[in-house]
Chain A
Amino acid sequence: MVKASALSCPSCGASITLHAEGWAVTVACVTCGSVLDALDPNLRILQRHAERITFTPRIPLGTRGTIRGVPYEAIGCQRVTITVEGVDYSWSEYVCFNPYHGFMYLSEYEGHWNVIEKLRRPPQELSSIVRSMVKLDQRTFHHFQSANARTSFALGEFPWELRVGDAVASRDFTSPPFLLSAEGTDLETTWSLGTYTEPAEIARMFGLSTLDKSPRGVFANQPNPHVRAARRVRRVGVLLLGVWLLMFVGGMLLARDEQVFDGSYTYDRTRGESNALVTAPFELKGRTSNVELEFQTDLGNDWVYFALALINNETGQSRDFGTQASYYSGSDSDGNWSEGSRRSGVTLAGVPAGQYLLRIAPEGGEPLGTPVRYSLRVTRDVPSILLYLIALAALVVPILIAWFPAIGFENRRWMESDHEGATMSFPPDEEPT
């Protein structure tokens, strides 16, 4: 049975227990912050830490948690800082240790957590003019950010030679919920794979309810929570579009679009009431559908109102309606002008099949107007494209609107990257494994 060695810090005298003895290369005293050589039996001082320690790891060192079914102990935590356009951004990186399974890592930035494992094989680097990409296990990762990451503070054990102030070039590639990170030079690069993990999940893993806090902003590999909803809306929408298309094509094919009546008449204001007339009966066939009436007049600086009734010849049922035509024209200093139209039309919806006749009573107009000649054409079952277009818009607009939150989320993600305003790629519909 191997016990963890108890040693003491040569700088402050506090006791130090090496949990990853034999593997820890550097240990930073949790009491005074001095960086010590963990391989040296006397813990030789590598760097003294003068200031008081103000940083407290959110996962206290020594806490055990379960990562992917394996217990690990948090044994080290370093603060890593990058400077972008003069502004410092810092995050925490935890070293987690199991004496059999080895090392795992965690990172935390503004409440965003990643579970990180070292990769034993490099991803394939793809060349691209726009943005560099890498591929790992058939998954493409887009370059997110390159930075010079420096260790700004450290506590506990690290399986590498750590010095506060040391910097390493880092490159991050994202494919939510995964993040591939390369650290090092072009010649010697260490790759690691991070998996975005919800704070509640980290809190559960380590039994620390204090960790379950809402993260701020959008993180590089945070899964877009709106994509799923947008995809669902789109799936339903596409289904409905199919139904719409069937109805549209069917409607166009099935529409009779049949002229059932036409006639020409004259409206003479001097005849008064006797202008009213009743047409000969005509047959409306097929399904219950619309009827379109179209008046063509020879109005000139005049108007006329047609009071109309569609009367079912069999039942005597009557539908009263009306339509007006009005046409004025002339010329002034600006040239010729005209207003209104000699044509007028009206469509009645939902007219059942049967024998019908129309009562037409023209009225109104300029008192001194000349007789108005007009003709009427009645068409049965006219396809209404406008209604279909309104229905189409009612389908498409929500589908598009459903993507707004997802797009907004992606914009906020990429705002933090080296590629602000980059074209977005939504992740495939996969669950993290």
Chain B
Amino acid sequence: MTAPAPHATSCPNCGAPIRFRWAQAVQTTCDFCKSVLVRQGLDLERVGLQAEFPVTGSPIQLGLEGRWGARSFVVVGRLTYEWSRGRWNEWYCRVSDGSSAWLSDAQLEYAITVEVAPGGPLPDPASLRVGDRVHTDQHEYIVANLTQAAYVGTEGELPFTTSARSLCWFADLITENGHFATLDGSETPPLLFAGDYVTWRELQATGVREFTGW
């Protein structure tokens, strides 16, 4: 599955061709010179340089195609977060039904979420404690995990421009029947991403990163 390339242009830094895989993307990274580029109208502006990408050990990479239930998706972008005990990635996915989703790989436990309207005010994740209950109009969640993290790298196309690298609180929410959500404190009010845990088998991924010996 390849997306149409509505905006084929070139890197303002090195002139290498830049091809957006997704029309809604506002940020990408030049594959050649690693410049972080932000779309300004029809032009691209270089806002920084992607430092050497932090090691995460993820088997997911840009261009990976997989399945999420009846839908398929392709990975088009990546945000890497770092917290006191490691790193994880949030992979930005373009879904076959035209929506977008995030695939996270923390400790190789995969979860796919989409941003949802909470249907009411959400608590600030910094104010929560593990075991607290969070109600949305969909589910009653339990706070399973609280993490303070900051992103340390971006890759590919993203639906927003990344600039601030401050620490934010994230709350992992679960339900007793296995639903999953993340409360993202990087904005006020916080954002809610809801979805499911998925196994590697269920993802039926192709175009995966390969590891020597595996």
Which positions in A face B, CB cutoff 8 Å? 1-5, 20-23, 25, 39, 71, 98-103, 118, 120-122, 124, 159-161, 186-188
Contact = CB atoms under 8 A, between A and B. Distances in A.
B87 interface: yes
B174 A159 contact: no
Interface stretch (B8-16, B181-189, B204-212): B204-212
Dominant secondary structure at the A interface: loop
B130 A99 contact: no
Interface residues of B, number: 34
B193 interface: no
A122 B107 contact: no
B109 A120 contact: yes
B55, B177, B201: residue with the most chain A Cβ atoms closer than 10 Å:
B55
Interface in B156-214: 174-178, 180, 197, 199-201, 208-214
Contacts of A124: 176
Interface stretch (B33-41, B56-64, B95-103, B117-125): B56-64
A100 B85 contact: no
Contact of B210 (A1, A71, A101, A188): A1
Nearest to B144: A122
Contacts of A120: 109, 174, 178, 180, 197
B210 to A, nearest CB: 5
Contacts of A5: 55
B142 interface: yes
Given A120-B178, A120-B197, A187-B129, A98 B214 contact: yes
Contact of A20 (B57, B109, B177): B57
B86 interface: yes
B152 to A, nearest CB: 12
Contact of A121 (B55, B176, B200): B176
B174 A99 contact: no
Interface in B119-142: 129-131, 142
Given A100-B200, A187-B130, A23 B210 contact: no
Contact of B212 (A3, A22, A98, A103): A3
A122 B86 contact: no
Given A2-B210, A102-B108, A39 B86 contact: yes
Nearest to B210: A1
B151 to A, nearest CB: 16
Contacts of B178: 120-121
A124 B87 CA distance: 30
Interface in B64-116: 85-87, 107-109
Nearest to A161: B85
19 contacts: A1-B212, A4-B211, A4-B212, A22-B55, A22-B87, A23-B57, A39-B86, A71-B214, A99-B57, A99-B59, A100-B214, A102-B108, A103-B108, A118-B109, A121-B176, A121-B177, A122-B176, A186-B131, A188-B130
Contact of B107 (A1, A159, A161, A187): A159
Given A2-B210, A4-B212, A120-B109, 4 more contacts: A100-B200, A101-B201, A118-B109, A187-B129
Specify the main secondary structure of chain B where it touches its partner: loop
A99 B200 CA distance: 10
A187 B131 contact: yes
B176 to A, nearest CB: 6
A106 B148 CA distance: 30
A3 B174 CA distance: 35
A71 B213 CA distance: 11
A420 to B, nearest CB: 32
| Residue in A2, A25, A102 with the greatest tally of chain B CB atoms within 10 Å | A2
Given A22-B56, A102-B108, A1 B176 contact: no
Which of A118, A120, A160, A186 has the most B CB atoms < 10 Å from its CB? A120
A160 B200 contact: no
B170 to A, nearest CB: 15
A39 B58 CA distance: 15
B202 to A, nearest CB: 11
Contacts of A39: 85-86
Contacts of A23: 57, 86, 107-108
Given A25-B86, A99-B59, A2 B212 contact: yes
Contacts of A118: 109
A121 B174 contact: yes
Closest 7 CB pairs of A and B: A22-B57, A102-B108, A22-B56, A188-B130, A99-B211, A3-B212, A100-B59
Nearest to A136: B176
Nearest to A22: B57
A85 B83 CA distance: 40
B210 A102 contact: no
A124 B214 CA distance: 38
Given A102-B108, A103-B107, A187-B130, A1 B58 contact: no
Given A22-B55, A100-B59, A102-B107, A122 B214 contact: no
A2 B211 contact: yes
Contacts of A188: 130-131, 145
A186 B85 CA distance: 21
Contact of A21 (B57, B109, B176, B208): B57
Contacts of A4: 211-213
A257 B209 CA distance: 89
Interface string B26-64: 000000000000000000000000000001111100000
Contacts of B200: 100-102
A161 to B, nearest CB: 6
Contacts of A103: 107-108
Nearest to B199: A101
Nearest to B129: A187
